[in-house]
Structure 1
Amino acid sequence: MQNEKTNIKFYDLIIIGAGWNGLLMCKHALQNKLKVLIVDSRETIGGSWKYSPDNKIKSVTKNTITTYSKTFNEISDFPMPSTYPLFPSHHEIYSYLVAYAKKFNLMEHIQFKSWIVSAEKISEGNYNFWKLKDSSGKNYISTCLSVCCGKQGKPKIPTYLKKQLKSFKGELINGETYKYLTPKFLNKKILVIGSNNKTSQIVSELSNYGKKIYWVIENGQWFLPRLAITPVPKESSIPLDGYYNVLNYSLFNDKKRKGIYFIEDMIELSYGKSGHGIKEWVSTTPLKHGNINRNREVLTKISDGVVIPKKKIKSINGKKIIFNDLEEQNIDLIVINQDPLPNFTFLPLIHQKPIHKNYKYIFDPLDPTLSFIGYIQPNLGAVASIAELQAMYASKVYSGQINLPDKQKMVEVAKRDSYYWSNYFKNQKSYYVDLELYSTDLAKKINVYPDYTKLFFSSPLTWWKCITAPYNNCRYLLNDSKHRPQILSTYSNYKNYQLDISWYLSLIIKPFYYAIRDQFSSKESNSIVSLEDKHHQEKKKKRTNYAILIIVCIGILLLVPEWKNGFINHIGKLRGDVERYDNKIYLTIVVFIVLFLLYSKK
């Protein structure tokens, strides 16, 4: 449709942003027969994944690699090349997005060098449409509008910290503008404030230039390694997120305690409290509900004494910084890297509201023809994993295949979801969600959640491959049998990620494990690893000694014939049946249960 008077084309959907999220939205909209246009201020696709040394352009740093492995970042029907490493660089991600755009003919639907300065809703007769205007004065008109341009706003800095920073007389640098090392960092005392993955990269690079790096993380932080520790030798390295699959999530997710404590305990026992053991940064929230940093490698800089961990700033006077532990340091420059807020100033004021007030973090309840894609962050997982499902949902709504609830219902659901996630992630960002819970909710709404029960009865082997394969968005194409060969081909690239069968045999002790865990864990933090609770440490030490005594007793009963035979005979005399007890497995279980019952009363 085209307006003859103004020569302006009408579109079903206009998408702002030709980055990862915008491309996903465009592809699924075209797939659902919508007339689409993408507008982007830059000269190329890729958004922030297209590196630019210009500080005024938001982009990745010169040395950025993905935080999560490629299986988390792959698009459902477009696997990454097998030649890509486990954690692709930004160059490889950009090439991947270019190949994706070419395969699905997205380039012809993009208008580059178009900076949108205003978007307003116009009503003419029976027609309601969005009118967009760019910085050159060009207008665009569409029925629906999808904002996919990422968080372009200023960093969210706590009010008290803003006041303190005003007193700082050195150089203050916004971490969002950091791209690469420059001589101004050489031999300087640097204070870094922030806790996200990019902050870790900045600290790691600055530690090679700076004299000393003081790193402040105020609300605690979980650190996880990129690679997993495997109990048996593997042909190649395995990313830790490679073990995030349907089977593991179902088996090790403790719904009653709302955590994945079996895995959490393994991490803390291997690496220390909160995955690092640094008391200044201990997180008070469980792994599944906490702020997670995947760049644990940077912690080696702390061991080297180059990076000094700090919890909080007490005061700033000139260049003098006083930390909460009363240590004073003269700092040359401060790098503050807080997640930026979305910038929707081009929209009418009524639509410039926080993302959590939208229905499912996507649709504006006041006008569902306006949607936002890719503005929420899973605490464990990649944004791209969620953005594709959001794009699927929005495109099906705009093509008339799915109906949304009425305005009042959407407002109620948005409030309910916001309350749920704010309690789920206490002291964390308002745009955090759990990947599995949120994705499952969306997938069921758009009828793409895999029917694993049906798959089990039709092909048990395929079912097993799918539930033990690492998280990948291709799972949402499983219900369509024509996609299964491609899905199985994608999964075959990650067959080495499957855990050894001994891992699953450990589930046999799961009930006993949680019973014992309740005896050892702190009631305050629900963790078996504690740094400062002396009473808990003494209690745990006593119980650990008692547990060791139990294990030794069981070992003696099994290995020393005299003890074993004597025990069997005495039990046999009581029950009148000796032969049934002449079995190591049966004897072990009986002894374990009896001793545990005695122990649990202590």
Structure 2
Amino acid sequence: MIGAGAAGLSAARHLLADGHEVIVFEAGSYVGGLWVYDNDNGLSVAYSSLHINSEPRSTSFEGFPFPDDTPLFPAHQHVRSYLESVADHFGIGARIRFRSRVSAVEPVNGEPGAGWIVRTEEGSEETFDVVVVASGHQGLPAHPPWATDFTGRYLHSNSYREPAPFAGHRVLVVGAGNSGLDIASDLVPFAAHTLSSARSPLLIMPRMILGLPAARVLAKINRRWLPWVVQRQAMRWISRVYHGRPEQWGFRTPATRTHPASSATYMAHVSYGRIDVRPGVERIDGHTVTFVDGTSAEVDTIIAATGYEVDLPFLSKKVSPIVEHQIKAYKRVVHPDWPGMYFIGFFNVSGGANISMMDVQSRLMTAALRGDAALPDSAGMHRDIAREERFLAEHFPGSARYGLELDPVRYRRQIGKVLGGAATGTADSNPK
């Protein structure tokens, strides 16, 4: 197992429940992965004000809920504590080798099905029957092409922690995903001028809808029997009821599927004129930023909330299934060409269902290891992967951001077919 974040814990829990011997390699000193503030593994994206956008009941592993006193929208500290309790309860902690960064995973004798040699930067080398890659897809920041043209202070959002160091600065936040909205809102009380650049069309959802968490309401809309055009119109209607038309604030309404962004404060700051909304960046000359609409602004600092490249540096090109922001694995889990290699957590999904989707993936993985999953042969897996690529190209066109996107309802249905209707269910809730 590579990684002791949420994905690694999910996989380890299910593997232990099936009686497998599990060893987890973790580059840092802590359980929790990206939820550990200033994690010494260098992969944390947590900033001081970070809260998840969903309620605990939709963000927990099946059969192991958050504590009853957890806030409706947990902070990163709550998520880290929860993941630590998962590791303790299921006996995973004793199986984690901390400060063990995997440097290479190679097939034994270069042959499929012969096992895997795992090497670490610390000098260890061991052979395993199965390797589960759960190291996450937010390890390598994606920088915009004009980043080197800027002569002020530039950083990617993965390096952002708190707003105080930017007091008095004119700050441009590029990117309008959840992190971009959070960071722009964070900066308002400190920065001399906060600008927010949104290149792509987007929908911004409120955190609460009629007194209920937005993710809970949106889950009611995201039904398999409800046509996508109806779902899209419902989400547009909700966004407009709370925030008005995107165009009135300088955004564009999406014409295709999109991953809605959510913020409790961003639109309030925009409406009060505290955040200056701009379109995409056209070019930069020194401190002068020119946007695609021809306007320009002088800024001291740019924070690029522009996402990540999927990076698995310990896998050779021959083995790695990562191609242009997508993972060429069957159902995002099973390597089609190299038996005994599985991937957990390589997806994006709205509505706070990340952890529950990891449970679904872990269930597919363990069923495959038992021989209980109706898996196609390698050629069939590749055909299925090609179908998924066409689905993404049709429904999420024009943005690399959606290369890992999942439709949670559709995905559960697909996994249910592979498992004979068992996409849901619970691993043993008792500790090992």
TM-score higher than 0.5 here? yes
CA distance in 1, matches of 2:128, 2:14: 17
**Deviation of 1:314 (Å):** 2.6
Higher-Rg member (1/2): 1
Matches within 5 A, 1:433-448: 433-448=406-421
The alignment partner of 1:440 has SS state of helix
Report Cα offsets for 1:377-407 as digits up to 9, x if no partner. 1144432121111111112112332252111
**Deviation of 1:142 (Å):** 0.9
| Residue from 283, 287, 300 that aligns with 1:332 | 300
Instruction: Point out the more displaced range, 216-225 or 43-52.
Output: 43-52
**Deviation of 1:285 (Å):** 2.4
- Greater helix share, 1 or 2? 1
| Residue from 386, 390, 394 that aligns with 1:419 | 390
**Deviation of 1:126 (Å):** 11
| Residue from 80, 97, 100 that aligns with 1:114 | 100
CA distance in 1, matches of 2:153, 2:194: 15
Higher relative contact order (CA 8 A, sep 6+): 2
1:477 aligns with 2:431: no
Structure 1's unaligned 5+ residue stretches are 1-14, 230-236, 451-475, 484-602
CA distance in 2, matches of 1:249, 1:373: 23
CA distance in 1, matches of 2:121, 2:253: 45
Please tell me whether the aligned partners of residues 137 and 346 of structure 2 are also in contact (alpha carbons under 8 angstroms).
Answer: yes
| Residue from 199, 206, 230 that aligns with 2:187 | 206
Q: State the match for 2:156 in structure 1.
A: 174
Q: State the match for 1:271 in structure 2.
A: 243
Q: State the match for 1:590 in structure 2.
A: none
Paired-residue identity, %: 21
Matches within 5 A, 1:106-185: 106-123=92-109, 128-157=114-143, 161-162=144-145, 164-183=146-165, 185=166
Q: State the match for 1:309 in structure 2.
A: 277
Alignment length (residue pairs): 424
| Residue from 40, 57, 63 that aligns with 1:77 | 63
1:238 aligns with 2:212: yes
Letter paired with 2:349: P
Matches within 5 A, 1:521-540: none
Please tell me whether the aligned partners of residues 204 and 239 of structure 2 are also in contact (alpha carbons under 8 angstroms).
Answer: no
Please tell me whether the aligned partners of residues 134 and 344 of structure 2 are also in contact (alpha carbons under 8 angstroms).
Answer: yes
Please tell me whether the aligned partners of residues 34 and 399 of structure 1 are also in contact (alpha carbons under 8 angstroms).
Answer: no
Matches within 5 A, 1:473-512: 476-477=424-425
CA distance in 2, matches of 1:65, 1:395: 31
Q: State the match for 2:360 in structure 1.
A: 389
Please tell me whether the aligned partners of residues 11 and 359 of structure 2 are also in contact (alpha carbons under 8 angstroms).
Answer: yes
Superposition RMSD in Å: 2.5
**Deviation of 1:284 (Å):** 2.6
1:261 aligns with 2:202: no
CA distance in 1, matches of 2:161, 2:222: 37
Letter paired with 2:156: N
With over 3 angstroms needed to count, the CA separation of the structure-2 counterparts of 1:344 and 1:195, relative to structure 1, is: same
Q: State the match for 2:202 in structure 1.
A: 221
Report Cα offsets for 1:524-558 as digits up to 9, x if no partner. xxxxxxxxxxxxxxxxxxxxxxxxxxxxxxxxxxx
CA distance in 2, matches of 1:19, 1:266: 33
**Deviation of 1:268 (Å):** 2.4
CA distance in 2, matches of 1:266, 1:46: 34
The alignment partner of 2:309 has SS state of coil
Q: State the match for 1:282 in structure 2.
A: 252
Please tell me whether the aligned partners of residues 252 and 262 of structure 1 are also in contact (alpha carbons under 8 angstroms).
Answer: no
TM-score normalised by L of structure 1: 0.66
CA distance in 2, matches of 1:211, 1:55: 33
The alignment partner of 2:209 has SS state of coil
1:297 aligns with 2:270: no
TM-score normalised by L of structure 2: 0.91
With over 3 angstroms needed to count, the CA separation of the structure-2 counterparts of 1:55 and 1:96, relative to structure 1, is: closer
